[in-house]
Amino acid sequence: MGLTVSPVSKLRGSFSVSGDKSITHRAFIFSSISRSEVFVRNPNRGEDVMRTLVAMQSVGAKAREEKDGFYIKGIGLSNVKEPENILYCGNSGTTMRLLSGLFAGINGKLFIADGDESLKKRPMKRVIEPISLMGGKIWGRRGNAFAPLAIKGAKLHGISYKMKVASAQVKSAIILAALSADGKTVIDEKARSRNHTEIMLKEFGGKIETNGKITVYPTDNLRYDELFVPGDFSSAAYFIALALIAKDADIVIKNVGVNPTRSYLVNKLKDAGGRIELFNRRIENGEPVCDISVKSSHLHGISVDASEVPLLIDEIPLIGVIGAFSEGKTVVRGASELRVKESDRIKLTVSNLKSFGIEAEEFEDGFSVKGGRAKYGFVKTAFDHRIALSFIIFALAGEGAEIEEVKSINISFPEFFDILERVKNG
């Protein structure tokens, strides 16, 4: 369903965003394989994370929904059962990749994982290769390149593995497989990526060392009581961007997770002249959390290189949007990974910017954007939630737009328009 988006004149107020999507995936998984009942408070309730919860229920975990979250009764790794049906992951690469690692070590059980048309085009060999080195048995289409995946649980052994791509999903799949492997597993990251899995495993009582390399030891005795999921930084980023580039904005976003592997965008935006303040800092379940104040700002261009891309992976289309409202040129390089996300995000970012009359150039591994005056445009989303949200922000700060569809935002940020209504009338 398409939507006409009109520009906003002002933004005022304070609010919270939905729970962190990445942390919620992991909270549902670790709670399900724990030997305790865990209350996951303030979870993300988007379609992606619910795919993970349903998958864990299908292998034996029990979940009870409350207003503020979910009680999840864990079953322990050794009690994971073979599901009666195919595990449908929808659009969620996180669900498919992490569970492939987890289930690879459930000896003698068969798991079939499938997804929608977009997920079937996303690369899976990057997960299958390291898990196979551990003794895992995973098969996929086209020489194990794509879903659907068949996972035959096997007896795994620990390995020393040097990451070929900077991917938190691949790293997390290996960590989850390592929990049921014989001996320790050592992971050497190509570049720093999101570390929510490492933090949560330690919180649940797992033995993991993160001094340079990541060393994981097997365990089937994970336990926890109550886990608070901080606000999703990637969701907050859309309102941070909107407040910076809108003409009259002054907002506060409460209880946002600011793990340094997630909130690096703040550093880039501050360096570009953004008026952003982080305050009320604290630690919740091992994760740093704070409130964020944002005001309208005069920005200059941003440069992103390959070493920074893993820390900005979800926000790069949004950086393109911000660049259109900034003085000078914004350049992103080393981001070829964006071509194999839910869509080709490099191509769509550039083509949509051009539809608004913005000067933009596409590279194989990124793009450049020259700040300019936006006109009314039409946005093609390819049903990618990150593209849809990024260009809704463009339309709100510019001259408006016709958006191809907005249903895809339910994957990660179903409350977006409810929050927008509150702050634009504040």
Active site residues: 314
> What is the Cα–Cα distance from 149 to 142, expressed in whole angstroms?
11
Rg, Å, the chain Cα set? 21
Q: Name 211's Cβ contacts closer than 8 Å, sequence gap at least 6.
A: none
> What is the Cα–Cα distance from 163 to 358, expressed in whole angstroms?
37
CA atoms within 13 A on the CB side of 308: 18
Is the Cβ–Cβ distance between 114 and 165 less than 8 Å? no
Under DSSP, the state recorded for 110 is E
Residue with tokens 């990974």: 337
The SS3 assignment for 357 reads coil
The SS3 assignment for 160 reads strand
> What is the Cα–Cα distance from 81 to 160, expressed in whole angstroms?
29
Q: Which residues pair with 128 in a beta bridge?
A: none
> What is the Cα–Cα distance from 366 to 156, expressed in whole angstroms?
38
Pairing, β 11-16 against β 249-257? parallel
Q: Name 234's Cβ contacts closer than 8 Å, sequence gap at least 6.
A: 21, 262, 314, 315, 412
Q: Both tokens of residue 384?
A: 């990618």
Pairing, β 366-370 against β 377-379? unpaired
> What is the Cα–Cα distance from 382 to 82, expressed in whole angstroms?
35
> What is the Cα–Cα distance from 80 to 63, expressed in whole angstroms?
15
